[in-house]
Structure 1
Amino acid sequence: MTFKEQVSKLLNDGLLEKPEIFLIDLSISDTYKIIVTLDGDNGVSLQDCIDISRVIENNLDREEHDFALEVASVGVGSPLKLIRQYQKNVGRTLIVKTNEEKIEAQLVEANNEFIVLSWSAREPKKIGKGKETVQKRLEIPYNEIKEAVVTVNFN
């Protein structure tokens, strides 16, 4: 079993004990620096990171590989990568980039094929002068999303 396979197995074993936590990224450099990035349906606590770190660290032999280990939660403003991340952020505002446009809107649905965004827009009235507020709704398949980031609001 390679070092990466060993780390992956230990990581998966640790995540089985915490079904609300899921892996975003695992990278291992040539110098055996292990970086684990996690997210969770209800966020990731420091204790979650410590627990996953211990599962990996306590089951690897430092005599065999001198490794460094970093376990962290996904950062605020990091692009969403998994359908599960979209689903946990329903109700929040996203900035979504596709090949055609960039939209800032509320995520109202996330299923296995696409997301649904909703926002208000001011448009010219169909009859008469002036503008009116209309509610817009757009379905975007995941394969058309180049990047999606949850906006951070400090109100």
Structure 2
Amino acid sequence: MISIQERAAQVGQAVTSDWVEVTQQMIDRFADATGDHQFIHVDPVRAAQTPFGGTIAHGFLTLSLMPLLMERAPIPAIEGVRMGVNYGGNKVRFLAPVHSGKRVRGHFTLLALIEKRPGQWQEVTALTVEIEGSDKPAMTAEWIGHIFF
């Protein structure tokens, strides 16, 4: 565990998560949760006939992997945190499809950590989701979270 001041001193530092496989079951369950059953996500036979050559993850599924990827990155816990909440994102871009069965990992760079008011801090993190074996990332974003003490 580290203090919030020690975390603030890490602005500009980058960490990388372990790899996570994006399975067809994960894609199907996301489709069920969101109601987005477009065939490019859930029908391997029809999706094989597209330029994608098979099923691909939803862009929002890729974005929603952020907490899992952060959990699998060497980001130390901050002492005394009561809760953290998502505040929003900037510059979210889906740059390349994540095919079913591919592995992804997250690259996280702490861009800013500022105290908004006593007991509340705002953290801005740059995220790049890399696809194993691909030169092009799946997604880039800046994510904003609020940390409460």
What TM-score comes out, normalization by structure 1 length? 0.24
Higher relative contact order (CA 8 A, sep 6+): 2
| Structure with more of its chain in strand, by fraction | 1
Give TM-score, length-normalised by structure 2.
0.25
